[in-house]
Structure 1
Amino acid sequence: MFKTLTLSLAALAATATLAAAESSYISNFVKEQNRDNLIELGTVRAAGNGVVEIFGYHKGKLGPLLGSESLHAGSNLDVEINVRRRPLTDVLAVLKVNGQIVDTQEIELN
């Protein structure tokens, strides 16, 4: 009985740790990126204060930093990032919390 309870508690703790680790993410529900110098991300959730950075991204290669936006802990609604001019390639959104990359998302531009 004790062994079963211990294993159950260990499994529960592992699940809770995994859930906490996955509490920062980019949820890009913006279907089309049509604005010349604005990348729309929609809701971005961060477990702590952080930043989302937009890089050029082509054929799996990271390009230059095009823009960034600071985030607060929790849900950040309607996140938009200004870039100097419309990127010629797709872009990669990189979410960092406490200096660590916690999520990335490739965004195809129309």
Structure 2
Amino acid sequence: IYTPPSRHRRCYKRQVSKTCHEIVQGDKTGDPSLADELREWIREKYAKPGNVFVGVVHRLDRPVTGAVVFAKTSKGLARMNALFRDGGVRKTYWTIVRQRPTEPEGVLVD
């Protein structure tokens, strides 16, 4: 059974740690997504029949690890989308490298 490593739970959101190479939302590859795994975990853990709502608030690229926020309700999803849209969320990106980069900024390529 999939047990999401959750960092923070509130009535409207769930924060999950994404590992490298996982996808947040389904794509053309058909690989299992973190959203689908979370949905199934909630269904089993809380014995919820039928559809379980898991709103994807934002995504992280496949080669990246980090915290992903999911909405537990459509109202929570709308509120969190507004926070991201209106600049109410501060995002910080860190990377670990073997050698000091020659440029202070760049693009991560897998």
Q: If the TM-score is normalised by the length of the shorter chain, which range does it land in?
A: 0.3 to 0.5
What's the TM-score, normalizing by structure 1? Answer: 0.36
Largest Rg, 1 or 2: 1
Whose strand proportion is higher, 1 or 2?
Answer: 1
